[in-house]
Amino acid sequence: MEIQTETILRTENLKAFYVLDMHGTQKIVKAVNEVDLAIKENEIYGIAGESGCGKTTLLKALFNVIEPPLRLIGGKIYYRVNWEEVEVTSLSPEEKRRLRLEYISYIPQGSMSVLNPVLKIKESYQDFIASHVPEQSRKETMELAQKQIVELGLPKNILNAYPHQLSGGMRQRVTIALSALLSPRIMIGDEPTTALDVVVQRGVIQMLKEIQRKLQNTIILVTHDMGVHANVAHRIGIMYAGKIVEEGTTIQIFDNPLHPYTQFLINSLPKFGDKMMRESVPGSPPSLADLPRGCPFHPRCPYTKDICRESMPGFSYPDEKHRVACWLIGEGEHGKAS
């Protein structure tokens, strides 16, 4: 079942680099490099890729928090707010702050640290509400919080606990509940299930899906675990060396992965009932401060051709909603690579 919906968050040729001063010489880490995304309303958009490929940096940029040493080098970010598209990188700090509070929320990696260890969960909630909600509706919001906690299947008395009294999975679910409290239109989650046990991970995924279904909002979810993507994402973008190299519906990505990198990501996963030798992606990812010429995957790719060493392929569109930047697939729109 698919509903045609509007784009809620869009980037155009987004470039965000870390500009570092290393003993007088400049080092540039191209963490987000010419990224074009169009994320829809009412969808869970997954972003996958190896660690160090720029996923967290991309999320920070999408959240419109680009602070030194990270710099916006080029491109635009648009949110659709009240039926109108707004370019958000050029807003004033105050306008940016207000959007972040009311419109988009962020669950950072290792978000268990979001909760203040010396405060009861209730007090963390109160602090959050005090900084986000006008005086007259705070009491009401706290009541809402209590109701939401029960609805999401968390124990009611959790508000009276300290973070250290809860398991890691429980803390993670509290943080997610808090980030959903004000019904943001967009929620961004950075590896919210990584390092959790499978059963707890399943509980967290269940909760994210539940929130999305209730709020009918957009969730942008980063994880390197393709199994998690298969379970939650409607569409998936595969990131490699600061670029989106393939994007499609979840079914397209799993049934017909076209980029050799995507194929490695999927085929290297172990499967029950099949003990066949599985190879991980050969070699290691390139340094984003010293990218190879041409396609950044070519040094690890088993199918490298001459042209792959020369220039970055543009996107080909093998199917509706499916795009891939690889010289093997087609000619692409050259020079306009994402």
Partner 1 sequence: MEKLLEVKDLTKQYALGSLIARILITAVDRISFYMDQAEIFTLAGESGCGKTTTAKIVLGFEEATSGTILHSGKPQTRKEKVWITEGVQAIFQDPFSTFNPLRTVDSYFFETVKNYRLAESKTDAIELIDQKLRSVGLTYGEFAGKYPNEFSGGQLQRISIARALMTNPKLIIADEPVSMVDASLRMAIVNLFKKLRDELGVSVLYITHDLATAYYVSDRIAIMFRGNIVEMGTVEQVLMNPRHPYTRLLRESIPQADPRQTWSDTVTLAELEHDEYLREGCKFAGRCPMVMERCRREVPRDLFVGDVLVKCHLYEGSGETSPS
Task: Please give the Cα distance from 240 to 232 (Å, whole number).
Answer: 21
Give the CA radius of gyration of the chain: 21
51 near partner 1, judged by CB under 8 A? yes
* Residues in contact with ligand ADP by the rule CB under 6 A: 18, 20, 29, 31, 49, 51-57, 69, 288
The CA-atom distances, in angstroms, between 328 and each of 87, 149, 280, 332 are: 35, 50, 21, 10
Binding partner selected for residue 266 from partner 1, ligand ADP, Mg ion, none, CB under the kind-specific 5 to 8 Å limit: partner 1
Q: Pick from Mg ion, ligand ADP, partner 1, none: which does 20 bind, CB < 5 to 8 A by kind?
A: ligand ADP
Angle at which helices 168-180 and 198-215 pack, to 10 degrees? Answer: 10
Binding mask 15-54 for Mg ion (x = CB under 5 A): ----------------------------------------
CA dihedral for 335, 52, 251, 275, sign (positive or negative): positive
Residue 183: name its binding partner from ligand ADP, Mg ion, partner 1, none (Cβ under 5 to 8 Å by kind): none
The H-or-E segment that residue 306 falls in is helix 306-310
- The phi, psi pair for 330, rounded to 5°, reads 180, -175
Residue 187: strand, helix, or coil: strand
Q: Is position 56 an interface residue for Mg ion (rule: CB under 5 A)?
A: yes
Give the alpha-carbon dihedral of 329, 7, 249, 188, to 10 degrees.
Answer: 110
**Residue 233 or 312: which CB sits closer to partner 1?**
233
Which residue lies nearer to partner 1 by CB, 130 or 269? 269
Name which of residues 135 to 174 contact partner 1 (CB under 8 A): 153, 165-170
Please answer whether residues 28 and 8 qualify as being in contact, where contact means their C-beta atoms are separated by less than 8 angstroms. Answer: no
In DSSP terms, which residues pair with 48 in a beta bridge?
A: 238
When asked if residue 302 is in the footprint of partner 1 (CB under 8 A), the reply is no
**Run of H or E residues at 252:** helix 250-255
In the bound state with Mg ion, the residue whose beta carbon lies nearer, of 49 and 257, is 49
Comparing CB distances to partner 1, the nearer of 64 and 262 is 262
Q: Which does 168 bind (CB under 5 to 8 A by kind): ligand ADP, Mg ion, partner 1, none?
A: partner 1
Nearest-approach distance from CB 197 to ligand ADP, in angstroms: 9
Residues that bind partner 1 (CB under 8 A): 50-52, 153, 165-170, 195, 197-203, 205-206, 224-228, 230-231, 250-251, 254, 264-266, 268-273, 275, 277-281, 284-285
